[in-house]
Structure 1
Amino acid sequence: MRKASRFLVTTGIVLLAACSAEDRDAPELASSDVQALRDTRGLPLRVDDLFLQLPSGGSGALSLQLSRSERERVSADNGQASFTLSLSAREPSVEFNDLGRDLDARAGDGLFTGAVSVNVDLLTQLNREVSRLRETTVRRFVPGSRVVSGSERIETTSAIDLEALRRGATVRLPRIGELGALRTLGAVTTASINPQKSLLIRSLPVIEDPARTMNPCNAAAANNPLKKWTFGHLMEQMAQGSGLSASDFVKHWLNAWRAQQSVTATGGAPVLDATSDVAAANVDSLILNPWKQRSGGGALNLSIAPFRLQAIVYRSDLAQSSPYGGASAGNSGGELRFVFGAMEVRDANGDGDANDAGDTCQPIEMSPIFEFGVPLSSCTDIKAWANAWANLSTLLPGQPAYGAALEALTEAVVVHGAAPAKPNQSALNQLRTNEIDLSGIWQLREFVLPAPGGPLTQTTTKNNPREHQEASTSVPGVTPAPIDMNGSPALLTEILSSMGDPGYQVPELSGGAPFLGGASTYNFNTFWDHPALSSPAEIEARFTFSSNTCSGCHTRETDTSFYHIRPAGPGASPTLSALLQNSSLLVTDVRGLSHTFAEMDNRKQALASLANQTCGFRVGLPPFQLTRVPLASTH
């Protein structure tokens, strides 16, 4: 009996070209133009292109072009050159074969073909919409990266060559879904996505919305009850199920700065964070003691938490939405993030607020970022979610409709019970911090909710090796020596291991020893490098590895000065790094390689891709948008 596999398709680049059936054996695309299929076990199967033909029988013939090695894998997994895909649980699966059977024109040519529903009227309408777009060039990115690899221009006169289709020719499908949003593909509007409304929201009407935010300088009465976009509300929701009150939950988290933390890596080896002797005094002096004093000396009053909202961010580039497998294939809606800035708030005259002469209410260099995983797994749910974010671009921040729409999106993710299977039933993936005023050195930390539940616990900083500052990260005979930024054998091993894998994640152990650190300490000249790296491929791998670390991403690899979103005090919006501000940022690294970043274009295209994906083979449109490769670095 033949074994059938289900595969998950992930997007690279689909170039526009018309070709006849005789032209199907065209040269394969470059590696940066590759699509990847991932089965439910996460094994990659690469697809180089998508083609469509309209046979006289009625159903469309959708063909997926596979390389020779991938054809061999399909045959090994399934016993023959075929596999099945299901775009919807409510629809029958579709078999794709390269056996010369059914709609497959020729056996063994690398084109796996299946029958899909095609509505030419819808294709005509889609072409018409594309012709009205002002921007018809799509930037290409290295899969799993924010680095630009080229661009693709969609012809507005004939995005899809309908005349060739009607003649029975086979045409290559363009990646028009990322131009969006397009009504024919199910999006709410054809207007351009405005990142300041739909992706990185930091305008004053939002971050100082009187109905949903608070001003740490004000008295408790002005900030009660806890409002939906406040530090206090998020902490209160996460604390449920932890066994602690919300006040003790926050104190437990802040106590991480009161003593050096030993983070236990896999295998039980302790890895220290980096902190200084003054950290305990700093966290007490700047945050805890003034907060306790304003709270009456007992439990911390979360309505006067000294943390001001700086931005609400939807990370569409971290989503993985494919109709080809659902949650078992790793589908998720990306991340919803809340960025806060810590404040030094002192009420000198004891009247409850910090607005008087002699009072203090000013930002300090410390930013916590709450990063929630959007708990969605079905194509249709993620598509609707993305359309709701895209629709924010049609509304005006500060108006009731915008606030209500954004609140509905955020509350669906942050409330207790949003993710029943996760610790504390919270959708939190991690809470990250970026600061110098508490520890005395520039440092990034990462906290998670432990299974099966409990308070926030410091964990290893993902993708960042053990730090290079001996005095603050290692105790001889107790903890392993730190990784040298410019020469450790383990660093060389991992950089070489990462070559050619855009989704590479730095392991917690390397050679049996802890490799990730308990925190990331860094300075402006942070690069991860090794003198043994010499070939162009090795030097490119060095850049990818280093730019995916916390310390590299926040400093020289992206020409950033510590913050990507630098907190501001009341009445001001935070400033953005050049990476987030510029539509195109050229950076030359320590080895002389130059790379172009287009961060917000990448996020816009990811949102359009999610909003415009086709969640079924029976809707009359072929799946133009497959699943994008999620960003390997989550910074």
Structure 2
Amino acid sequence: MRTSKKILYLNLAAIFIFFFVSWTRNSNSPNSAISHETVYDYFFSPPTDDLNSFQGDDNTDEFDWAYNTTKPKKVPPADDVMVQRIPGDNNHLLVMAVYSYAAYHENFVTINYGGEDISLRDDGSGDDKVAGDGVYTTKIFTDVKEFRKLAIEMLKETIKNKWQPLFVDREFKASTLCDVNPFSETKFDNNEPVSIVNLTTAGETVQIGKVRQNSIFLTDVSVVEDPARTWNFCTQTGNINGAWTFKTLMKNLATQIPSQPASDQAVSDFVKSWLNSWARQKIINSDTVPARKLVNEKILNPWLDKSKAAGNVDGFLDMRFAPFKLTAIVNRFDLRERASGIPAGEGRMIFCLINSDCSKAEDFTLIFEYGINKPDVCDSLRNWATQWYNLKDLTLGSPEYLTALQKITDQFTLCGTNPNKTNQSCIDAVRTNEVALASSDATHPPRWEFREFGLNPHSHALVQKTVSQAPADKYNVQIDNTDVERMVKFINENDSLIDVENYNVPDVYDSFPFLAGKSTILDTPIGLPTKPYHWDGVENNKTAAFIKSTTTRHVFSRNVCSGCHAGEVQTFFTHVDPVFFGTQATLSGFLTGKAGRGGAIDSDGDSTNDVFKVKDAANRGTTTQDRFHTFSDIKRRAMDLKQVATTACATVFSLRNNLMFHPVGAVH
């Protein structure tokens, strides 16, 4: 009887909570006098954490971007991976992952190996020798003689490649192992632990060069202006229904059911709704997003006029006159993260805006970012990496190359490629980076601004949301006030996680709205420190507004869009520069290893060494290692892709790769 009453009371309580939450969501929206879109401030970023666990009706992560649901804790990359022979056993090896206490100090590390999870332990039991020493151990099956042979071959190749410098996080670090053998055959044969982290063939210059050109960041005109797959709205040539046109990508986003493609009218309404939203002020997570009314003058009205002149009805947007040009197709396999929603990373399509009279490109970049819907297991990830990697063997821009590339992009751009997400689309976000729509006067100069959009799971429209990993602009005024102190508190409290990029900037922190509705570059993007725009607290280390760690400050700033597109990596606003038809887009020094446009400063003064050296934007650091940051990100991505594509699953080296993989904490 008591049990029955308890069940009854629990059911009544559950019903009460359900109706209370439903009533709250429908009755407590903000004042609509500001803008009807102010409701998004509540609906997509509620004022408390009460709804943080709420998910869509299909029980997916559809509301993850809206409610900032907590993702599973990621295991950081290991500091070292070692192997050790077991006396008398030629069929097993001990594999040991080493972590500092600050980075990770749980009892187990669980990781996928050959399609199933295995655990490395640091509890002093089983094969682990000492509990709590940061050395996590497991025993795996392998042919020890074959492993030894392969390791020695890799060692010889590594030495031949003159100890290629390594990427730690996204930075290029010169190898300190020139005179040290990281894999000692003698120690291995004596059953002593030996490191295997530096055994790699990824430094093969010619092969990596082909991967960089054909498989990572595709900007060649033969690709991005392929007449069978793209469209030139100025000359009205190409294929308006091609796989990579603005029309096709928007149509795929607007389509809710693959078998019922969105009509031209539906696509027009979908795009027009998105563009109209720019002209209205919004409040997103309590951050005011000013109207960009030049959207009408520069984009919408000329487009409508051309559409009407072509015989369409008033108000219809004919996609033949969409003023957007494809500038790049990008493989972001490197964005994959264990225990995240994008285990295979992203694929991206980047466009720029062309002005209405077809005379030049505008300072407006538009990026479609798609999360790759592949299982988080080695065979699947390696297969996906191999599809991109194999493009290196084809002639860039050839019919065979373009066909193979479209087979890859169709796997993430088409409606139906992720049935568990809104409109069955793989889209993670649509981002913009622009100054073209910024009005200006004597007191308010035009500013570059970043916006982020997503598919609303109820309206199925493309609506603006918070900008991932970017606190609101008010937190970066770099004076000692309560807002700056709050941001610095978050950074200092999470320094060890930020250092290994194992963190997310929350919607709300310390009971205050934290994440930005838009992110703005408020000062010059390049130049000598500390002038170029970057994220920081204050210089006085005696106050609560001082970021304690030089490394943490840099990583945090670099992971904010307005930091990475400015002083933190000496980038002149855009990593992919807007260009007119017939011109290949130039890229930033952060990407290419060679200084980009606008007078970006390469601190080593060498334009031929394939690395871009940037002095710390806050002018901090006591050693060369933390006073300078060196980048060549496309090379880093190419080496990573090759490593996965050429390493067999369920092997010692695939396990090492998983343990050493350093997730990227930024969206760029």
Cα deviation, 1:5-43, whole Å, max 9, x if unaligned, reads xxxxxxxxxxxxxxxxxxxxxxxxxxxxxxxxxx99416
Relative to structure 1, is the Cα distance of residues 51 and 453 closer, same or farther in structure 2, using a 3 angstrom cutoff?
A: farther
Relative to structure 1, is the Cα distance of residues 528 and 302 closer, same or farther in structure 2, using a 3 angstrom cutoff?
A: same
- Matched with 2:496 is 500
The 2-side partners of 1:114 and 1:165 are apart by: 17
Given that 1:206 and 1:398 are in contact with CA atoms closer than 8 Å, whether structure 2 keeps it comes out as yes
- Matched with 2:383 is 384
- Matched with 2:280 is 259
- Matched with 1:370 is 368
Given that 1:258 and 1:281 are in contact with CA atoms closer than 8 Å, whether structure 2 keeps it comes out as no
Relative to structure 1, is the Cα distance of residues 212 and 405 closer, same or farther in structure 2, using a 3 angstrom cutoff?
A: same
| Deviation of the 1:501 alpha carbon | 2.3
Does residue 61 in structure 1 map to residue 93 in structure 2? yes
Task: Name the aligned partner's letter for residue 500 of structure 1.
Answer: S
| Deviation of the 1:606 alpha carbon | 2.6
Relative to structure 1, is the Cα distance of residues 418 and 65 closer, same or farther in structure 2, using a 3 angstrom cutoff?
A: closer
| Deviation of the 1:372 alpha carbon | 0.7
- Matched with 1:117 is 141
| Deviation of the 1:590 alpha carbon | 4.5
| Deviation of the 1:155 alpha carbon | 8.7
Does residue 588 in structure 1 map to residue 621 in structure 2? no
1:444 to 423, 426, 450: 450
- Matched with 1:271 is 287
For structure 1, the residue ranges without an aligned partner over 5 or more in a row are 1-38, 76-81, 183-188, 322-327, 347-359, 469-481
| Deviation of the 1:369 alpha carbon | 0.7
Given that 2:336 and 2:663 are in contact with CA atoms closer than 8 Å, whether structure 1 keeps it comes out as yes
- Matched with 2:161 is 135
Relative to structure 1, is the Cα distance of residues 161 and 402 closer, same or farther in structure 2, using a 3 angstrom cutoff?
A: farther
- Matched with 2:34 is none
| Deviation of the 1:129 alpha carbon | 5.6
The 1-side partners of 2:194 and 2:569 are apart by: 39
Relative to structure 1, is the Cα distance of residues 110 and 271 closer, same or farther in structure 2, using a 3 angstrom cutoff?
A: closer
The 1-side partners of 2:130 and 2:323 are apart by: 67
Does residue 601 in structure 1 map to residue 653 in structure 2? no
For structure 2, the residue ranges without an aligned partner over 5 or more in a row are 1-69, 440-445, 525-531, 594-609, 621-626
| Deviation of the 1:206 alpha carbon | 0.6
Cα deviation, 1:220-269, whole Å, max 9, x if unaligned, reads xx444510111111111111119881111111111122222332x2xxxx
| Deviation of the 1:150 alpha carbon | 4.4
Does residue 623 in structure 1 map to residue 655 in structure 2? yes
The 2-side partners of 1:139 and 1:237 are apart by: 42
The 1-side partners of 2:91 and 2:209 are apart by: 33
| Deviation of the 1:383 alpha carbon | 1.0
Q: Alignment partner of 1:137: what SS?
A: coil
| Deviation of the 1:564 alpha carbon | 1.0
- Matched with 2:37 is none
Does residue 52 in structure 1 map to residue 52 in structure 2? no
1:528 to 508, 516, 535: 535
Relative to structure 1, is the Cα distance of residues 61 and 539 closer, same or farther in structure 2, using a 3 angstrom cutoff?
A: closer
Residue pairs, 1:460-479, within 5 angstroms: 460-468=466-474
The 1-side partners of 2:131 and 2:480 are apart by: 51
Cα deviation, 1:601-633, whole Å, max 9, x if unaligned, reads 3222332343245532xx576723125222112
Relative to structure 1, is the Cα distance of residues 558 and 508 closer, same or farther in structure 2, using a 3 angstrom cutoff?
A: same
- Matched with 1:227 is 242
| Deviation of the 1:462 alpha carbon | 2.0
Aligned length: 539
| Deviation of the 1:336 alpha carbon | 0.8
- Matched with 2:528 is none
Overall identity of the aligned pairs, in %: 26
Task: Name the aligned partner's letter for residue 135 of structure 1.
Answer: N
| Deviation of the 1:99 alpha carbon | 4.0
Given that 2:81 and 2:97 are in contact with CA atoms closer than 8 Å, whether structure 1 keeps it comes out as yes
Cα deviation, 1:326-384, whole Å, max 9, x if unaligned, reads xx5656111111110111245xxxxxxxxxxxxx4532221101111111222211111
Q: Alignment partner of 2:486: what SS?
A: helix
Relative to structure 1, is the Cα distance of residues 73 and 202 closer, same or farther in structure 2, using a 3 angstrom cutoff?
A: closer
2:214 to 197, 201, 206: 197
The 1-side partners of 2:404 and 2:151 are apart by: 28
The 2-side partners of 1:631 and 1:45 are apart by: 11
- Matched with 1:421 is 420
Task: Name the aligned partner's letter for residue 571 of structure 1.
Answer: G
| Deviation of the 1:181 alpha carbon | 8.1
The 2-side partners of 1:181 and 1:495 are apart by: 42
The 2-side partners of 1:379 and 1:292 are apart by: 52
Relative to structure 1, is the Cα distance of residues 297 and 162 closer, same or farther in structure 2, using a 3 angstrom cutoff?
A: farther
| Deviation of the 1:566 alpha carbon | 0.8
- Matched with 2:667 is 634
Which protein is richer in helix relative to its size?
2
Question: Which stretch shifts more, 505-514 or 117-126?
Answer: 117-126
Cα deviation, 1:169-200, whole Å, max 9, x if unaligned, reads 43221343572689xxxxxx966553221111
Given that 1:310 and 1:574 are in contact with CA atoms closer than 8 Å, whether structure 2 keeps it comes out as yes
Q: Give the root-mean-square deviation of aligned CA atoms.
A: 3.5
The 2-side partners of 1:44 and 1:83 are apart by: 7
Task: Name the aligned partner's letter for residue 279 of structure 2.
Answer: R
Does residue 490 in structure 1 map to residue 523 in structure 2? no
The 1-side partners of 2:365 and 2:133 are apart by: 55
The 2-side partners of 1:123 and 1:303 are apart by: 60
- Matched with 2:39 is none
Does residue 176 in structure 1 map to residue 199 in structure 2? yes
Cα deviation, 1:443-480, whole Å, max 9, x if unaligned, reads 21110112256011001122223235xxxxxxxxxxxx
Cα deviation, 1:147-166, whole Å, max 9, x if unaligned, reads 3454365899x774445434
Given that 2:613 and 2:628 are in contact with CA atoms closer than 8 Å, whether structure 1 keeps it comes out as yes
Given that 1:46 and 1:70 are in contact with CA atoms closer than 8 Å, whether structure 2 keeps it comes out as no
The 2-side partners of 1:62 and 1:528 are apart by: 43
Given that 1:450 and 1:457 are in contact with CA atoms closer than 8 Å, whether structure 2 keeps it comes out as yes
The 1-side partners of 2:222 and 2:421 are apart by: 33
- Matched with 2:570 is 559
Instruction: Give the TM-score taking structure 2 as reference length.
Output: 0.72
Q: Alignment partner of 1:380: what SS?
A: helix
Q: Alignment partner of 1:507: what SS?
A: coil
Does residue 509 in structure 1 map to residue 508 in structure 2? yes
Q: Alignment partner of 1:63: what SS?
A: strand
The 2-side partners of 1:141 and 1:495 are apart by: 27
Relative to structure 1, is the Cα distance of residues 217 and 536 closer, same or farther in structure 2, using a 3 angstrom cutoff?
A: closer
- Matched with 1:42 is 73
Given that 1:53 and 1:62 are in contact with CA atoms closer than 8 Å, whether structure 2 keeps it comes out as yes
The 1-side partners of 2:252 and 2:187 are apart by: 56
Q: Alignment partner of 2:468: what SS?
A: coil
- Matched with 1:213 is 230
Q: Alignment partner of 2:461: what SS?
A: coil
Instruction: Give the TM-score taking structure 1 as reference length.
Output: 0.75
Question: Which stretch shifts more, 64-73 or 502-511?
Answer: 64-73
The 1-side partners of 2:469 and 2:537 are apart by: 17
Question: Which stretch shifts more, 383-392 or 279-288?
Answer: 279-288
| Deviation of the 1:49 alpha carbon | 2.9
Relative to structure 1, is the Cα distance of residues 93 and 369 closer, same or farther in structure 2, using a 3 angstrom cutoff?
A: closer
Given that 1:416 and 1:424 are in contact with CA atoms closer than 8 Å, whether structure 2 keeps it comes out as yes
Cα deviation, 1:500-541, whole Å, max 9, x if unaligned, reads 322233222233222222212224242333326527834443
Given that 1:490 and 1:511 are in contact with CA atoms closer than 8 Å, whether structure 2 keeps it comes out as no
Indicate the structure whose relative CO is greater, using CA pairs within 8 Å and at least 6 residues apart.
1
The 1-side partners of 2:309 and 2:548 are apart by: 57
- Matched with 1:16 is none
